[in-house]
Amino acid sequence: MIRDPVAVASLSGELPVADNAPLSPHPEDDPAYQVFIDSLSYLPPEEIQVVREAYLFSEAAHRGQLRLSGEPYITHPLAVAGAIAEWQMDVEGVVAALLHDVMEDTSVGKVEIAERFGKPVADLVDGLSKLDKIEFQSHEEAQAENFRKMLMAMARDLRVVLIKLADRHHNLQTMAAVRADKRRRIARETLEIYAPIASRLGLNKLFRELQDLSFQLIYPMRARVLARALKAARGNRRELLSRILEGLTGKLDEAGIEARVFGREKGLYSIYRKMLDKRLSFSQVLDVYGFRVLVNDVPTAYLALGALHGLYKPVPGKFKDYIAIPKPNGYQSLHTTLIGPHGTPFELQIRTEAMDNVAQEGVASHWLYKDSEDFGAELQQKTTKWFHSLLDLQSATGDSSEFFEHVKVDLFPHEIYVFTPKGKIIALPRGATVVDLAYAVHTDIGNHCVAAQVNFKLMPLATELTNGDRVEVVTAADAHPSVAWISHVKTGRARSKIRHYLKTAHHDESTALGEKMLNQELRTLGVVASELPVSSWKNVLRDSGNKLIKEVYTDIGLGFRLAGVVARRLLAREDTPQPADKSPASLVIRGTEGMAVQFAPCCQPIPGDPIIGSIWKGKGLVIHTHDCPAIRKARSAKPTKWLDVEWEPEPGKLFSVRLLIMVQNTVGALGRIATEISRSGTNIEHVNMEEKHPGLYTTLHFTVQVASRTSLARLMRSVRRIPEVVRITRDQGLTA
């Protein structure tokens, strides 16, 4: 029985087949086959013969299989190969398109394909086949793994993605017999993954068709209603469109500019998205129609722009120059929005004929338009580089589902363009921040960035960048990524690099903390860790299932094992009581241990405060002050879970502290307090205020950074001397 490929992994989007189908007629009698063979006239006769042999091979392999539509299965690979032939792809690509389902749905293997048609063809077919021999826990995991495999094949050979897109396009066209829920699932997947890939590769014609087909499958009623409205509008606006077209043509002729001018219509899905995003009715979407001007060269494009801006007034802020700054997919054009007759806005695109070829066919123009071969080769190199950047995400994440989500983020860029100090242009998704740019330049710059000069002004890392910004990233050797960064980055690359760093750093810091805690416990039992025999560790490793001593330390630091239990197991003294003459030693911390040691936000302990700690699974050591009200019940309920902690005499970092300052409502009081805090060398992290007694007093809430309790006391004394200050206290949540 033939498998249902959609149920196994719908990433290839194959339609299910049925058994016991009748034999296909002789290919020479099939009109579709004849049209296909005639379309191969760009290939030499000997290569066309290879394609004929591949068709017969595929037809024989699929013989007896029907698609759910009732057609012989061979009609599908023939249609895919026909689409590939329209791009004038080489013989290996056409043969691979004919054979793309053979390995997946028949008993034919890669070795047999390699023997008959060569290793390059076998590699292409293998890259197009799903991972259906592996058992996955869920459809999502299968989807992510299949996409990962496809991406790796794409990075090796761009023909894989072109065949894959043609395959998906034909499947969407022939889905009437597929169950409604599967139709919607495959269509949504196309909108999420395949349509954006087509756009990213510059295949704009295919991109629009994939979007519209998917829209019709997901929302058939909405698509029909919108199509009727569009048809009606086409008739109602015919006179207006003809008038605009005549005006554009006449103005260009008057300026002596040779050009082709024609109207174009927005796709159904594009109109639907605009209505949805901007909450418009169809009648309010005024730019349903646009116009395109094709000229001979770049200087003429700018001349045409000037002439047409003289005919119709441009809408401010709606001009985009993609000729000077091409999109990452190679797209080049001038875009402007003009106000036509009766105040009707319309979009105008101006580009050369060669640019239009690339705009419609993207990387496929490398095969299709031989006169633009140099540009096509450059575009292929850029595309391959993009695929490799996605593979970098794969190595950084390791998790298939997480990787899949990162890629989906990168497939919806809506680019902005920013400049480095050396003038290099970097494309980023709209809403990207300084951190996104830092990681786009280099991972090390991202890991150590602290701020940026945006248009020569010092700005924080969370600053959202806009088109044309000049950005210089400021780095510091001791700076490291923060968990908070994940919430404001937009690119999958930045998100995956931050997560990778945090996982690695947390692991290393937890290992060091676990070793320190175990050594302390052993000292309490009167043993020096370095004097333990190797056999003691062998027993612990065997019982715990760990392979390395470092793994035991990590488990202790993360709270998955108790240091006391491990110490007693090392000494083979499971129930040994605490020696009477030895009190438990305090754990000494500096505060620079990183994520393995966390300071509770409820009481914000600082050096000099009496402190206590508790190990939490997965979090490590959490530090509170001894008198923190948030832990009173927990300490009394489970006293053994808490351990005494001490500050090292010279702590190594600054700590955040909240201050409550009540002041008289006088002009300049806030400024004088802020000046006094800064004069003492203390950094102000945050400040806000509340007016508890209107007209009399205001309570200021400051969050400042201090090195110790001593420096905090010194700061509070200096602020208290300001005449307007009525009271200053430290906020430790003691009223909770």
Q: Which amino acid is at 265?
A: E
Q: Are strands 457-459 and 611-616 parallel, antiparallel or unpaired?
A: unpaired
Nearest to 341 by CA among 244, 237, 251, 236: 244
* Cβ-based burial of 732 (10 A; exposed 0-12, middle 13-18, buried ≥19): buried
d(CA 705, CA 678): 11
The closest alpha carbon to 604, from 676, 710, 700, 705, belongs to 705
**Euclidean distance between CA atoms 496 and 368, whole angstroms:** 37
* 202 Rama class: left (phi>0) / alpha (psi -120 to 50) / beta: left
Q: How far is residue 660 from each of residues 80, 248, 606, 694, 714, measured CA to CA in Å?
A: 71, 68, 17, 17, 16
Are 31 and 21 within 8 A, CB to CB?
no
Structure tokens at 126: 């293998």
CA neighbor of 266 nearest in space, from 287, 293, 237, 294: 287
Closest CA to 514 of 563, 548, 547, 549: 563
275's tokens: 């209505």
CA distance 469 to 449: 18
Region label for 591, one of left (φ > 0), alpha (ψ between -120 and 50) or beta (otherwise) = left
At residue 186's C-alpha, the angle toward residues 182 and 192, to 5°, is 145
Give the integer Cα–Cα distance in Å for 516 and 613.
14
Token pair in block for residue 464: 């959202």
Residue 104 a catalytic site member: yes
**φ, ψ for residue 557, nearest 5 deg:** -65, -30
Q: Which of 59, 92, 101, 104 is catalytic?
A: 104
Give the type of residue at 44: P
Please answer whether residues 302 and 352 qualify as being in contact, where contact means their C-beta atoms are separated by less than 8 angstroms.
Answer: no
- Cα dihedral 711→714→718→724 (10° resolution): 90
Bridge partner list, 702 = 659, 687
Residue pair 672/724 in contact by the 8 Å Cβ criterion: yes
Q: Which is the catalytic residue, given 105, 145, 356, 609?
A: 105
Angle between helices 75-86 and 45-62 (to 10 degrees): 150
Rounded CA gap, 522 and 515, in Å?
A: 11
Rg (CA), the chain: 34
Q: Which residues contact 565 (CB under 8 A, 6 or more apart)?
A: none
Q: Spell out the residues 6+ positions from residue 32 whose beta carbon is closer than 8 angstroms to its own.
A: 75, 78, 79, 82
Is 30 one of the annotated active-site residues of the chain?
no
Q: How many CA atoms lie within 13 A of 244 on its CB side?
A: 27
Q: Please tell me the distance from the alpha carbon of residue 657 to that of residue 660, in angstroms, as a whole number.
A: 10
Q: Which positions are annotated as active-site residues?
A: 104-105
